[in-house]
Structure 1
Amino acid sequence: MTIYILEDEKNILKHIMALVSDIPYLQVVGYSADVAKAVTEIPQLQPELILADIQLKDGNSFSLFNKINVESSQIIFITAYDQYAIQALNLGAFAYLLKPIETNIFNETVDRCFKKTEEHKFNRQQLELSSNYYKGDTRPRKIALKNFKFTQIVPIEDILYCKSDKGYTTFLLKDGSSVLVSKILKDYEPLLPTDTFIRCHQSYLVNGNYISKYFKDGYLEMLTGDKVPVSDRKRDIVQEFIERL
């Protein structure tokens, strides 16, 4: 997450920089002690998060944010004055922290902001992909699988099955490769067509086009030879699904 810092007290700026450096997903792209510099830099840099003091040397950050477009940025105000809280929230700020900054509160607030930003990006990305339809069909053609290193765009027809474990989901693809993403299976299930994919187990979502055999004692065999469990309560549903293929 890219971040811009507005702070005119050197010691506090140094402290904020130290807090930010301990959070691996944050990247400082700029900082300023005055409105005159920030009014030019923020629109150019388009940071995802702005940490802003309210009272600056040449004005206040409220006047700054009324001059520039910050709709694509989250704002966390950090100030010694609590009388501005309502004004900050009316501006659409994500949070309002008082000085001196408590490390735990700072970390928790930034983490919530990061998760909200990532969720928004994920939903927007999936929506864009879902708008790429088959001709005459409303099914999405591709899905974006994102982890901390990259985002891989995968044709839905190439997914053999998905396996969820401890908050992560692994997508097994027909070329033998796999993609691990840091989201649960439930987040992806609505994005995959129900006439093709079946939730056969709490931890598995399977592409019916790659099912080779269904064993009534509780598992599926894929064309690759992989065996996927079928939970007891899903057996009738899986049987009906297979009969429709």
Structure 2
Amino acid sequence: MKTLIIDDERLARNELRRLLENFPKVDIIGEAANADEALPMIDDLQPDLLFLDIQMPGKNGFELLQSIEGRTPEVVFTTAYDEYAIKAFEFNALDYLLKPVDLARLSEAIHRVEEELLHGSTAERTPNVPKDATKLLGENDQVFVKDGEKCWFVKLGKVRLFESMGNYVRLYFDDQKPLVLKSLNALEDRLDPATYFRANRKHIINLQWIDKIEPWFSGGLLVTLRGSNDKIEISRRQAIRFKEMMSL
């Protein structure tokens, strides 16, 4: 896995290089302190992976990616700031590591890169630059979720349920239930309707997680989501849409 480290702080580059010694598959082929140094290296060395800082003198990390011609490597952002996370996933970053980088989180990021390089189509990819910041998000997109001091970079396909909690939305994935400051209506506008269905006023469900469907009161439906005890009512009005969508 040919890897470039791009960070204007020498100590940060050294620390990341030290941590990456724990991963024999990672071959660090170079370092750069800014975009001007990095771009010719990317062109000449054709790395598989960039560990990329965001705030740097001159072009920032996002502007660097926009300047790459041809195939863009996989990207793991490394930064001391969490406010760039939403923009980071719009650039199809595989992960977003906050400094100081934790070895366990770095291990998760490396595993994610290995999975992408093994099963993805990196050689045919166009640059990781958002063509439309309002694009629909599907099951293979990853989102940054922050609730208090906890952070996740989760693939949307793992989220089985979104629940409105006033001005917040609760996400259900694995055994986690973080809250994000967003309305359910705004979230619905971003989600691919082929995968995510507005069941009622309070819930959006991931159709791929439905385990069982039962008739319910007043022409509605009751769905059970697999891997959990979540039972969600599909309102009568939405049940009509649901049947139209799911019927042959």
Interval of TM-score (by shorter of Structure 1 and Structure 2): 0.3 to 0.5
Q: If the length of structure 1 is used for normalisation, what is the TM-score?
A: 0.47
Q: If the length of structure 2 is used for normalisation, what is the TM-score?
A: 0.47
User: Which has the larger share of helix?
Assistant: 1
